[in-house]
Structures are given as structure tokens and as C-alpha cells.
Amino acid sequence: MKKSVIQALLLACCGIAATASARQPQNIIFLIGDGMGPAYTTAYRYYMAEETGDVSPTIFDDLLTGMAGTYPDDETRVTDSAASATALATGRKTYNGAIGIDRDHRHLPSLLSEAKSRGYTTGIVVTSQINHATPASFLAHNESRRNYDAIADDYLGEDGRSPVADLLLGGGTSYFIRPDNNLVKVFQQQGYQYLNQYQGLKQLTIPALGLFAPKGLAPALGSDHPHRLANMTAAALKALDQQAKPYVLMIEASQIDWCGHANDIACAMAEMDDFAHTMKLVKEYVDAKEDTLMVATADHSTGGLTLGKHGVYQWKGPALKKVSVMPEQIAQLLKESPEDLENIVQTHTGLTLTAVQRPIFLQALKDPDDTNVEQLAQLVKHLIDEATYTGWTTSGHDAIDVQIFAHGPQAEQFRGFMDNTQIGKKLISLLQPIPAGS
């Protein structure tokens, strides 16, 4: 083949690649695994392996593109969810506890507010209450993440009649139906469909407000809806497609973080499994649509999770699949039927108490005070940690860098190391003005 022909072919191929790379996404799906540091995705890979079988890559491994720093706007280096979510939502650093504002309390425009102003449909899907720190940072402005009622009020917009989000799915009826204010009625007056049962997702239309619990949704572990985030996401994507209009959707696996704070590895893997199913669903959707960018990351890592401890070179993640309910539920069962100690533990954890562990549980069960259910739950978690060689360094957050995952048009912008603010800035930069009537 002549040199000139080869050069022409190479130029043609490069041109095709450049065109694909330059394509702007119509839709953006931003996923956040709250508290999901690198140890969590590693643990999930081993958790999904067979006891003695090969270890296979997971969806997280397939989509990994980079790492991100998470430090807040101070010298502590350890962020909370509010500061990190504000960085991801707005591209600006702030102090721990701040929602959508900088250190001088100036309001910061977010990915969702910018998208809404340019004509996009916008939405959030979370497993926490919808006014929790991460979703709030995309939709509200407040000096403290703890001002839940004020943040909920802010969801209606500064004038009380112009919500930033067209779709809100998660928990939070305690904050939206209050003695002083029934925000659900106000949303309904603005034309929003209101759902309070998962079954209603089958008829989901936009705009919509779905609140499925007083605060956060029930944990995935032992739930009737273990993949509730994936199910809500599937319903959201179907409804968004019916709009025939570009959209930006933020999805948060909120409770990975809660499990990390509780140092509960079985809880964490159940939440990771729900998030993995959600990621697979979104990837398949992106592959089919070809006009949608998905980016995922974590806001920080929680708990200082370690796989292996006591100097033992081992981690028995697959054993966690035998844990069928939350440790708190096991503790309650033990409190109600202390004489059935061995059977309850074996049935719900797959573990057998050792000669050292049995008397510790028996001593705790002698306490007539109902408050010792928490102590029993701690014993159950410790039992599981010892059996799997799971370690924790803190009940709070740590300063570990977190992963970035991306797929779809412009995914290459999210490769390598970057600060979390760069993720927010890049996403906002990809927004395009939507012509009226589109």
C-alpha cells in the first residue's frame, strides 16, 4: 500500500476519533457514592468473588478513569459531605457544613441551577432524605447543613414558586410535611406529581416529588427493596426520556457513608451492591443513547476501612453475603429471645460464637435496660469484623483521595488526578443553552 494511502487512512481514522471526542453530551448523569473511598470498591470486588474462585473486575473497575482530592476550604484536609458536595456541585471550595455557599456566605450557582437556567430538565435521586447535605448542595444555599427545614423550604426557589429540580426522589416526609408548613401541597400546586409509595414509580411523570420515608430510606441490607436506588433511577430515566428534552440528573448512593460511620461492613456491601446495579443500569443506558455522559465519584471516604487486620494477610469478604439483616435488627431479636442466642446469630450471620465470644454476648443480654440493644449491635458488628478481618480507623471521614468514573461523550475530560472542584467546573462547562421549545 502506498505511503500516501496509509496517511490518508490514518487521517480519516483520526478525524473520526476527534469527532467522537468533540461530541457534546445532551444529557449529564452525575453519580455520587457518599463515603465511597477506594477501599469500598476494592472490598466490593472481593465481596462479589466466590469463596475460592477467581476475582473479576466490577463495574467500578470497568469505568475507573482517575482520582480526586477532597479537602475543604481550610487546613484540616478532611472534608464533610456538605463542603465536598458543594465543591462537586459548584466547582468552588467551602467550609465544612456549608450548603451551596462560600466561606463569605455568598450563594454559589450549582450544576443543577445552571442547567435549569439554560433550559434543561433537572432531577435528583437519593437514598437519604432529599434535603440531606449532598442533594442540598445542588439545590439550596444555607450556612449549615443542619438547618433541614430551611433547606427544604429553599427547594421551592427564592420566590417560593420556582423549584430548581423538576424531579426529586428519596426520603424526607418529616421535613416536607410539617406542622408549620406543608411543602408537598405547595409542590402539588406547582404541578408536581406526588408519590409516597414505590409502586407509584411505574406511573412516574415529570415534574414529580417522591418521598418514600420520614427521613432516609430503609437500609438496603434486609430490605424488601435492596436495589431501591437502581429502581428509582430506572423510573427516573424512563420519565426523563419521555420529556424529549436534555436533562441533568444527580444520583446519590447516600447510605454507603452511613454504614461507614457505623463501621458496619455488611451494611456497606449491601449499599455498594445497590450502587453497582445503578451504575450498570446507567452505563447500559448511556451505551444505548450515545448522547449522554455519566460521571461518578465519591465526596470523601468514611470510616478508614481496611481489608485485613491484626497482622493477618486475609480478608473474607464473600462471608458477608451470609449476613441477612442489619446488626441492629439482630440485636433486637437477641433482646427479645436471649435464650435463642446461638440460633439467631447463626441464622442471620452464618457465624458460630466462639468460647470467648459467647460469654460476652451472654453478659450483655443480662442487662434489663433496653438501651443495651445498641451495645448488642456493636457486638454483632465486631463479630462480623473479626470473622472477615475487617478493620476501621475512625467513625468519621478521612482525607483519602477518591475515585472518578466516566463513560460517554467527553468522558476523557475526567481522566487522571484532579481536585473535586475541577469535576464540578468541567460538568458545568459542558452545559449548552437549550433553544426554547426544545
Catalytic residue list: 81
**Residue located via cell numbers 460538568:** 427
Rounded Cα–Cα distance for residues 109 and 291 (Å): 25
Rounded Cα–Cα distance for residues 163 and 206 (Å): 13
**Which cell numbers in the block locate residue 333?**
431479636
Residue 29, amino acid: I
The closest of 411, 81, 60, 381 to 255, measured between CA atoms, is: 81
389-400 burial code (b ≥16 CB/10 A, e <16): bbbbeeeebbeb
- What is the phi-psi region of residue 436: left when phi exceeds 0, alpha when psi lies from -120 to 50, beta otherwise? beta
Bridge partners of 407? Answer: 294
Burial class of residue 435 in the structure, from the number of CB atoms within 10 Å of its CB (0-12 exposed, 13-18 middle, 19+ buried): exposed
Question: Which residues lie below 8 Å from residue 386, measured CB to CB, with a gap of 6+?
Answer: none
**Residue located via cell numbers 461530541:** 23
**Which cell numbers in the block locate residue 70?**
477532597
For residue 272, give the 3-state DSSP assignment. Answer: helix
Q: E strand or H helix at 302, and its extent? A: strand 301-302
Rounded Cα–Cα distance for residues 57 and 44 (Å): 10
Please state, in angstroms and as integers, the Cα–Cα distance from residue 48 to each residue in 122, 175, 320, following that order: 34, 37, 10
Rounded Cα–Cα distance for residues 175 and 186 (Å): 13
CA dihedral 4, 9, 13, 14 (to 10 degrees): 0
Confirm if 144 and 133 have CB atoms less than 8 A apart: no
Question: Which residues lie below 8 Å from residue 429, measured CB to CB, with a gap of 6+?
Answer: none
Confirm if 145 and 128 have CB atoms less than 8 A apart: no
